[in-house]
Amino acid sequence: MDIVINNLTKTYGPQKAVDGISFNVKTGEILGFLGPNGAGKTTTMKILTNYIKATSGEVTIDGKLVSENADELKKHIGYLPEHNPLYLEMPIMDYLWFCAELQGVHKSNIPGRMGEMIRLCGLNAEKHKKIGELSKGYRQRVGIAQAMIHDPQILILDEPTTGLDPNQIVEIRELIKKLGEEKTVILSTHILPEVEATCDRILIINNGKIVADGTSATLRKQAQGSEVLQVRIEDGQLDAVFQGLQQLYSTEVVDIKNREKQLFEIQSVKEVSSAKEIFKLCVKNGWTLLEMTPLETKLEDIFRDLTLN
Amino acid sequence: MNAIWTIAKKELSTFFDSLVAYFLLTIFLFLCGLFTWFILSDVFLTNQASLRTFFFWAGVLLMVFIPAITMGMLAEEKNTGTIELLLTKSVSDRQVVIGKFVACFLLVVIALAFTLPYYFTVAYLGNIDHGATICGYLGLILVSASYISLCLFASSITKSQIVAFLLGLVICFFLGFVFFFLSMQTNGLISEVFQTLSVRDHYESIARGVIDTKDLIYFLSLTTIGILLAEVSITNR
């Protein structure tokens, strides 16, 4: 099911939490929602699930307006809210049963779905405990299990991996990736490597506005524009090598990073790679090329660039 | 319909899992028994095979008992944030309120069912008016439905259970006592308005065995108003 968000705005008093954002998510796509605290991620997710109403703009799922067809559409959405609220006094099994029944899972299918969720989320050892007796990580697993119990077409997960241990994080990421092949997934997170590892597409929002939209590769290209190489060349005079590199047609900026190791950072002219020329230069002068590493702009840097001003 | 029953079932089982229900039921039955059989104008003092004392005191005790069972219904969900999870499931706001109403109502009906032995005992002791007794129970059930729905509204406008309890108590006392006293203090049209608003006259006439449409409409409209107000209040989030 495709989600189309059109010019969505939500104001709380004078403050605009979400400011005219528009984007689409297609079936089989995992969209990572990034942004600093208070950027409007959670507000957007609450509007998508029809928990709160937008001030203006519209959300359609499968061509139907969420605000008008909520009762029908909510059946197809699995939602994990921020802070993962749960009924602490309820046993896990009762809680999952309750959620399945509310989401309209047929009675004869509930035990099967529950078994599946308990296996997928690794809850087997704890399944007879009350939710209040569980640690934070296990509660998070219960939160994920209740979101997926009815096998929804759309998954909306607000920070799904908080409180999980590293092994569990990997498992949940794998699970989300697998689900994302057939379903529509939107997840928000603060953990940047997580977005890169799981999401097909990244959306960065800041102050309620979309500041970047694309795959991690396209975002990098946008931010960087030109290639940056770290190069180590020996068996030549530092100054001679430096000048040789600077005179190359394809290099824009050459920096000496470490004089003793003869380490350089070279930024190429836009859209051109300087790697071949550097190699040929070394061969011509009989220098030894010890290292040539392309430096990628980290997602962290892109994020900081886009959200700090 | 299914969703309403699912929610009601869950609330009831939470009641009985957490001992709250047992505690409240015990106190309610203890005090009902005390007032009916031992204190003030009890059955033995009036020397009549009638449960009128019981119906009076049960009505009074429900004013405290009902706010106590409804206080957490929506306030606690709002406080912990579970209401977000509940309302984003495939249920409407109204189904949630009605589901909670049904759970509380069933708990009150269970409490009242435990007082049936009083009826059998008095019937054994003397010649009881069966019709009036059945009407008395019907009256209690109608009063309870009104109190529950209005107390649910009280629970829907705050995040604090204590505030919800006190607010529910105030609502019940206004309907049960204050309007009646105001109608005694005033006269003319104002007095009549207060009298109509007060539960007392409607309840007493049903408890006497007179089932008037006017009284039924009174209780059913209070119940509907409470449920609708609670729904509006959780829809405005």
Question: According to the model, what pLDDT value does residue B167 have?
Answer: 96
* Encoded amino acid at A123, one letter: L
Q: A75 CB near a chain B CB, below 8 Å?
A: yes
Average pLDDT over chain B reads 90
Distance of CA A127 to the CA centre of its chain: 30
Out of A28-37, A218-227, B28-37, B227-236, least confident range: A218-227
Contact map slice: A 79-108 vs B, CB within 8 A: 79, 81, 83, 85-90, 94, 98-99, 101-104
- Mutation pick from A102, A110, A149 vs chain B, by most beta carbons of B within 10 Å, is A102
Q: What CATH number belongs to A226-296?
A: 3.30.70.100
Provide the β-strand partners of residue A65.
Answer: A60
Listed in order, the ranges of chain A carrying CATH 3.40.50.300 are 3-214
Out of A33-37, A229-233, B44-48, B143-147, least confident range: B44-48
Question: According to the model, what pLDDT value does residue B47 have?
Answer: 66
Mean pLDDT to the nearest integer, B128-137? 87
Do residue B14 and residue A101 have CB atoms under 8 angstroms apart? no
Residue B197 tokens, joined: 């608003």
Distance CA A114, CA A145 (A): 8
pLDDT band at B25 (very low <50, low <70, confident <90, very high): very high
pLDDT band at B41 (very low <50, low <70, confident <90, very high): low
Listed in order, the ranges of chain A carrying CATH 3.30.70.100 are 226-296
Out of A261-270, B209-218, B227-236, least confident range: A261-270
Q: List, in order, residues 6 or more apart from B190 with CB less than 8 Å away.
A: none
Query: Looking at the partner chain, which of B17, B89, B91 has a beta carbon nearest the beta carbon of A89?
Result: B17
- B80 vs A contacts (CB less than 8 Å): 85, 88
- Please tell me which of A218-227, B21-30, B164-173, B198-207 the model is most confident about, judged by mean pLDDT: B164-173
Distance of CA A158 to the CA centre of its chain: 11
Q: B235 CB near a chain A CB, below 8 Å?
A: no
Strands of the sheet with A251-258, listed across from one edge: A251-258, A263-268, A228-234, A288-294
Out of A98-112, B12-26, B39-53, B148-162, least confident range: B39-53
CA distances from B67 to A212, B5, B98, B200, B222 (A): 52, 22, 16, 18, 16
Question: According to the model, what pLDDT value does residue A277 have?
Answer: 86
Domain A3-214 has CATH 3.40.50.300: yes
Report the chain B residue with the minimal C-alpha distance to residue A48: B88
* Encoded amino acid at A12, one letter: Y
Question: According to the model, what pLDDT value does residue B161 have?
Answer: 94
pLDDT at B80 over 90: yes
Instruction: Report whether B65 contacts B31 (CB < 8 A).
Output: no
Kindly indicate whether the ipTM for this predicted assembly is greater than 0.90, answering yes or no: no
| B116 vs A225 pLDDT, higher one | B116
pLDDT band at B45 (very low <50, low <70, confident <90, very high): low
Question: According to the model, what pLDDT value does residue A225 have?
Answer: 63
pLDDT at B140 over 80: yes
Query: By C-alpha distance, which of B225, B219, B84 is closest to B152?
Result: B225
Distance CA B168, CA B153 (A): 8
pLDDT by 10-residue block (mean), chain A, 309 residues: 90 88 91 86 91 91 88 91 91 94 92 92 88 90 92 91 83 85 88 83 89 82 74 86 85 84 84 84 88 79 76
Q: Please, where are the H alpha helices in chain A? A: 41-48, 70-73, 92-102, 110-120, 136-148, 166-180, 192-198, 216-224, 238-247, 275-285, 299-307
* Encoded amino acid at B134, one letter: I
pLDDT at B62 over 80: yes
pLDDT band at B42 (very low <50, low <70, confident <90, very high): low
pLDDT at B40 over 70: no
Question: According to the model, what pLDDT value does residue B33 have?
Answer: 86
| A216 vs B230 pLDDT, higher one | B230
